[in-house]
Amino acid sequence: MNYKILIFSFICLFFFGCEQINTNKSSEINFKPENSYKNLGFALIYNNNLENIKKLETRSLDIYHKSLKKKSSVKILNPANGKYLIAQVKSNKEKFSNFYNSILSSRIAEELELNINEPYVEIILISKKSTFVAKKSKMFEEEKTVAEKAPVDGIQINDLNQKKVKKKTPISKKFSYSIKVADFYYEDTAFLMKDRIRKETSIKTLKISRLSQTKYRVLIGPFNDIKSLKNSFENLSSLNFENLEILKND
């Protein structure tokens, strides 16, 4: 009888010990990963002068992306005016600077009224099970076929009392962006990341922004020109961050 009690006690201690170990590991998690891909940053608008990049049809709703699977559906949003559309990843094998979150067709740039000199977009991966995608995908191939036959003459608006007028691309009054490295649950972890970046790169303009009691954001910047922003962004490539974002400052 005592032997059985001893075995039972040993089993209990084993399981309680495992639970304690798992609890300690969970406390080391720095931030919760996103359920789906989302990125704010600058896109590269395709043109024939891009070297070593396969042709992207002018009137297509296709994009090139580095990490998303081929034929993935994405929502592309212009934060400046709220306009968005659904596009498709044509390939993830094209090689281009990590500074750009995608390469877009000129049609996408026109429809979203992107500023050609500052093509800032948000890209969101949409699940194939989404009812939103299901509704859009029914007309995707038909719309794509029609669009590819259409002439490239810009996007126009119709008015019963006026002639057709081309929409103007909005121009940002001030260029000011920061690089979002990551969000952390603990302030100490955010400081550790800040110190690591200082030691392993030449970047010095870092700060930690407290968003809430349990959310601390590591930022680099601000940057007032795209050249310095791009240089700092590419300088971070040695640290192998998976999803750096570029945030527009208010």
Q: How many domains does the chain have?
A: 2
Residue 250: pLDDT band (50, 70, 90) is confident
Note whether 147 and 240 are same-domain residues. Answer: no
pLDDT in tens, 125-176: 997 665 444 444 444 445 444 444 444 444 333 443 444 444 554 555 689 9
CA distance 49 to 152: 18
Residue 42 has pLDDT above 70, yes or no: yes
**Rg of the chain over all Cα atoms, to the nearest angstrom:** 24
CA distance 29 to 184: 9
pLDDT score for 238: 83
pTM to 2 decimal places: 0.69
Residue finishing a domain among 134, 166, 198: 166
Determine the structural domain holding residue 185 and report its residue range: 177-248
Task: Quickly list DSSP for 129-187.
Answer: T-HHHHHHHHHHHHHHHHHHHS-----EEEETTEEEEEPPPP--S---EEEEEEEESSH
Q: Are 74 and 68 in contact (CB under 8 A)?
A: yes
CA distance 30 to 181: 13
Note whether 116 and 146 are same-domain residues. Answer: yes
Lowest mean per-residue pLDDT among 1-10, 21-30, 89-98, 230-239: 21-30
pLDDT score for 129: 61
pLDDT score for 204: 87
CA distance 246 to 120: 9
